[in-house]
Structure 1
Amino acid sequence: MDHPNLDGLSLHEEEEEGFSFDFEEEGDGEQMDLRWCLVGRFLCEKAIHFNSMRVRMADIRKPLKGVTIKEAKSGTFLFHFAHPLDMEAVLNGGPWTFDNNMLLLERVQLGMQIEHIPLFHATLWVQIHNLPMGLMKEKVGIELANYIGSFVEYDKNNNTSFWRQFMRIRVKIDVRQPLKKDTKVKNKEGAWCTINFKYEKLGVFCFVCGIMGHAENRCEVRYAMDQDDGRREWSADIRAEPRRQAGRQGSRWLREDRRSREENGGGERVAQPNRPPENSGAGPTIAELDPTH
């Protein structure tokens, strides 16, 4: 009986045979949809109530053309927008939180499997406090941002104030690494001084290890301690206070710089003489309806 000639046959080569396709945009509906999709996960260990989250996230952002939210796998969610402007607004307006848990978002990339898209970065606005006068400029902000994480944006609008309390930069941060609290810079006299970082919209983070996503009662570093002496390297000072937009009392003699006018929601204000509130008797005043007035 003749035996088949097996010379040159490689089973390994046979096993590796498959298909290779072109992932360039072809213009069909399915491919176009992927350009307007984000994938995300919440930076927490607990399970997220999907229905509550999807309603809450849609209500917060209010995308003009709508959004579809689906759970791709346990703990990973797909956000499909009907218009790219809505998607960009979500990316640029974050970070977003649900139950104080930060949402990590990335664009869906053609040719990548959902489970292989890295979701380890958050983009936050960081305030730089105690900078010496003369260092409040973009090139300094870029260097400091790259020390904290990766530079994304410098807030030029924060330059309009006559005197600024802090510099403001947008930074992409690896959530697996401890948050940077401060660093040192040289002042004009050549002496080192400490500048402090404060993070806006910061969710849950640990005072023991400085990593976002868990509190100290769930910290592996704390559990590895022989004895917890109660000292903490991080504190609540790392959180930036919410930026208030409330107006202030005015004076006809007081001129405000451009930044202050923008924060107060208008131009120069002139104080009005004191007079009793006008009420025609048609109903109660706002102060009577709202006990906070």
Structure 2
Amino acid sequence: MKKMTWAGAAAALLLSACAQAPLGSAGASREFVSANEDSRVLFLVIHYTEESWDDSLRVLTHAEPPYGKVSAHYLVREEPAKVYQLVDENRRAWQAGTSYWQGTQNLNSASIGIEIVNPGDKDLKTGQRNGQYQPYAPAQVDAVVALVKDIVARHHIRPDRVIGHEDIAPDRRRDPGPAFPWHRLYEAGVIGWPDPAQVAQRQAGYAAALPDIAWAQQRLAHIGYIVPATGQLDEHTRNVISAFQMKYRNSNYDGQLDAETAALIDVAASEGGMLMKDGKPSVR
């Protein structure tokens, strides 16, 4: 039998590896993989449906009238609490609409959307909003937290990019609203929270003298909101402040710049102000 040289053996192994390499699109070999890549998913957007379970499912899965062309990657039912995937994560769901966060516009192309079955402040019998936001079912919240943790871990989504629809479209959306327990996501280690010690310290100073609206607009823009520097507490600025309050101080979301709100905004916009559950600064 003829002995195979070292060079011949190496060549044979290479040919064998090539033959067995997995194939990608159009039969392209995937034997070489670049390290210079990351997920296309930069943001995770949380919504409520403002509908019952049946209507939520119809709206998010049908394209025919009278339903608009809207969708989400995931829908979380309230009773029984269950997660449904409606759109593959590799495809774009039509869930964010006209939107903005941290310099990115129209987030559909760079986000995953989670819709939670909850009426918000809508009376499902009359279709009118009454300002009374309905609580989320505990088991449903557990399912949402587990889903968010999984998505964030797989796509390496930064804590400051787990956001509500109200954050990215404050003039037209209020979801997931003040009843959504954002603090649970902080406790789960997926978002940061304003350091209470820093908030208390700055609140004392702002109680004596509030900063002006131009300051608040600048700080909110630094966090990620789209806020023109008008220097006026106009409707858009009130909506932005209210969206911020719904997340970090949901007991009062009137859109006014009081001392506590100013302290929360200042800490949230400051280096090292947002902390993770382990006490480390949140990654920005």
Asked if Structure 1 and Structure 2 have the same fold, meaning a TM-score greater than 0.5 normalized by the shorter chain, the answer is no
Q: Which has the higher contact order (CA 8 A, sep 6+)?
A: 2
Task: Considering fraction of residues, name the structure with more helix.
Answer: 2
Give TM-score scaled by structure 1 length: 0.26
Task: Considering fraction of residues, name the structure with more strand.
Answer: 1
